[in-house]
Chain A
């Protein structure tokens, strides 16, 4: 044992660089083998002709990408984008007030925060099922509205765009609330006192002090909602009833029933490109936002 111990120690002392890479190796190797390489193979597949029973055959073609410019697929792409933007806007409108109240809630803060974190940890599938249980024709909402005489026949809620949007907002709202809360929490209250002393009204104090300073949280929250919304598949699958296809459903179909692996791979890469574009815009905005606020203050 001693000799092994000494061998390890001798190695540790020889090179800091080797030490770092021996710590990195297992995890990074795993990610290269089972994350990076699969993506590269997928990219290759998106440029190959489709095989008759799934899979691909030898050759190079851009057919899969050209196919995207057919109106039906462009519609799916546009819908995915618009639905994700709408979901982000709704989450911001509902989430900002919640984050604001939590940051100002004093002794209730821990409880209110726990109630936002809890859904964040609970199974997405179970939460989607909860939506079905409420919204289907013989579900909780319809049964009670009928019984109370508010309506006389069931409202059709499930398998509509309304259901998909409600499910997405329900699923991703905590991702918006938490980063906004984090930046409101850090806000220096003396700035607000200064604004008040200088005669700013509550609305002016909010829009000219609080909101600009919480922008980093807002931008992070928008990214954290927008990205999973773009790639969402379960919500439109279970709540949209395969009518309002998103790009995630299109991809899934190509590897299930449609057996067009190149087209599915190409669709996956278009989705990845949208996500990376969102991340790059986020990084740019994040780096420029504080500068913009500072410039405004200087004025």
Chain B
């Protein structure tokens, strides 16, 4: 099919790409604008980035998001990888039920997850804060980790593990010396997905966060609600740059390992 695509199709698709990327591009450009009030370009400035350093609420939010993000990534990746191993390598009763159950959190609307957890935490009198946010994030990340790791496991060659067992290694040695290194790219992409989902989550976190535990998205949301100021553009640009670098590095890594 080396045939040229019709011109109207190319124009339409170019338009959709502009629609997907122009808003973010404009947002980033104006984070470097000197003027506070207008969207007229009045000169290059790093003023809004400098101001971020003096915003205690934002710095606190970043710390909270990193703390919750790392803790929930660790727990969700561990639990999710173990589930994926069980599903890929073992036959057991109730397997279909477990699989179906794992898909439910993926399709459940975030607002329902957030509110049902809020009800639980209020009922058992667990104070809302970093702990409740982490519990919630692990709960919505596990299923996604399972899906990613399982995809990698299903494409994996079992003969290496069988060879190790035949050559006399026990299951534990085989697991850590053969299975884990082979599975590592899958575990890392699962962890990356969990971390970005945790770091970005607003809806669920907004229900289970308590006073003093606002993560970065909650801080950004309240800034957007109060009034639109260029510091929001600056913090958004930093978040976007961070995610892009992370995705790019992960993409490179998984390509190298796929070869």
Contacts of B251 in A (CB 8 A): 114
Contacts of B167 in A (CB 8 A): none
Beta-carbon nearest neighbor of B121 in chain A: A38
Interface residue B13 (Cβ < 8 Å from any Cβ of A): yes
**Contact assessment for A101 and B13 in the assembled complex, using a CB-CB cutoff below 8 Å:** yes
**Contact assessment for B79 and A26 in the assembled complex, using a CB-CB cutoff below 8 Å:** yes
**Segment among A61-69, A138-146, A213-221, A288-296 that sits at the interface with chain B:** A138-146
CA distance A33 to B47 in the complex (A): 47
CA distance A17 to B86 in the complex (A): 10
Interface residue A74 (Cβ < 8 Å from any Cβ of B): no
Contacts of B138 in A (CB 8 A): 30, 34
For the complex, count residues of A whose C-beta is within 8 A of B: 83
CA distance A122 to B25 in the complex (A): 13
CA distance A28 to B224 in the complex (A): 37
Interface residue A86 (Cβ < 8 Å from any Cβ of B): no
Within 1-40 of A, Cβ neighbours of B (below 8 Å) are at: 5, 8-9, 12, 16-17, 19-21, 23-24, 26-28, 30-31, 34-39
**Contact assessment for A97 and B13 in the assembled complex, using a CB-CB cutoff below 8 Å:** yes
Partner of B12, one of A42, A97, A174, A268: A97
A residues sitting closer than 8 Å to B (CB atoms) are: 5, 8-9, 12, 16-17, 19-21, 23-24, 26-28, 30-31, 34-39, 41-42, 45, 55, 94-95, 97-98, 100-101, 104, 112, 114-119, 121-127, 129-134, 136, 138-140, 143, 170, 173-174, 189, 192, 227-228, 230-231, 233-234, 238, 248, 251-252, 255, 261, 264-265, 268, 271-272, 275-276, 279
* A-B CB contact pairs (8 Å), 21 listed: A21-B86, A26-B78, A27-B79, A30-B138, A31-B102, A34-B120, A38-B117, A39-B116, A119-B24, A123-B236, A126-B220, A126-B239, A129-B27, A130-B24, A130-B27, A173-B20, A189-B1, A228-B109, A231-B111, A233-B203, A238-B224
Known: A17-B93, A255-B115. 5 other contacts (CB 8 A): A27-B80, A27-B82, A34-B138, A129-B236, A143-B40
